[in-house]
């Protein structure tokens, strides 16, 4: 029984691990912290894998655990200030310097947002989740999700306009 559980869990990690790591990176803004976060959550999930797998929502469960564990980490770390991302691990596919600079700038801007606003934007635009799923992941109402998204986008637009950078919406 435990061997079958281990095989099933191993398959899950092999198939979904890279996506979970990317998701964790977007939440944390730090590659090493993302790796630690995924490792911590997967270690806890492994202990309950039979129940989680039977519920047929394993990935949603793990993503929820990632979000909640990251929030817990931030609460414990509240005395330290947040550091913007120094480098983005992926390079632009087309090799364009302008594209790479724009991506770096967006990562830096995203890192300046409060945790909840960043999580909402990552879940909405990177994970392409609807507001009700985001609310379930974050443990809040859909109205709170919309408010956080609106505030985050307004803050990003204001920062971009301060730097005289136009967005697609303004063009």
The length of the chain is 171
On whether the CB atoms of residues 86 and 79 are closer than 8 A, the answer is no
* pTM summary value: 0.54
**CA geometry: angle 63, 82, 73, nearest 5 deg:** 40
Alpha carbons 138 and 2: distance in angstroms, whole number: 32
Indicate the domain borders of the chain: 1-79, 96-171
pLDDT at 1: 46
Structure tokens at 91: 């390079």
State the chain's maximal CA–CA distance in angstroms: 60
Give the CATH architecture of domain 1-79.
Orthogonal Bundle (1.10)
| Topology annotation, domain 96-171 | Arc Repressor Mutant, subunit A (1.10.10)
Per-residue pLDDT of the chain (171 residues; tens, 9 = 90+): 466 667 889 999 999 999 999 999 988 888 999 999 999 999 999 988 888 877 778 888 999 999 989 888 877 765 455 555 566 555 545 555 666 677 777 778 888 888 889 889 988 988 888 999 899 888 899 999 999 999 999 998 888 777 765 555 555
Alpha carbons 129 and 108: distance in angstroms, whole number:
23
pLDDT of residue 42: 93
Residue 119 to residues 47, 79, 132, 133, 135, Cα–Cα distance (Å): 26, 20, 14, 12, 11
Check residue 79 and give its pLDDT: 47
pLDDT of residue 98: 60
Q: How far apart are CA 65 and CA 60, in angstroms?
A: 9
């Amino acid at each position: 029984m435990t061997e079958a559980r281990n095989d099933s869990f191993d398959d899950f990690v092999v198939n979904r691990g890279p996506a979970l790591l990317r998701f964790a990176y977007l939440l944390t803004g730090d590659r090493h912290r993302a790796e630690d976060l995924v490792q911590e959550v997967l270690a806890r999930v492994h202990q309950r894998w039979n129940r989680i797998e039977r519920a047929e929502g394993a990935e949603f469960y793990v993503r929820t655990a990632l979000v909640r564990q990251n929030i817990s980490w931030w609460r414990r770390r509240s005395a330290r200030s947040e550091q913007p991302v120094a480098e983005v691990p992926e390079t632009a596919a087309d090799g364009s310097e302008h594209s790479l600079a724009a991506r770096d700038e967006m990562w830096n801007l995203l890192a300046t947002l409060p945790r909840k606003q960043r999580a909402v934007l990552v879940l909405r635009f990177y994970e392409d989740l609807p507001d009700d799923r985001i609310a379930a992941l974050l443990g809040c109402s859909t109205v709170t999700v919309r408010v956080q998204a609106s505030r985050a986008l307004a803050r990003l637009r204001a920062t971009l306009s301060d730097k005289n950078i136009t967005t697609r919406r303004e063009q």
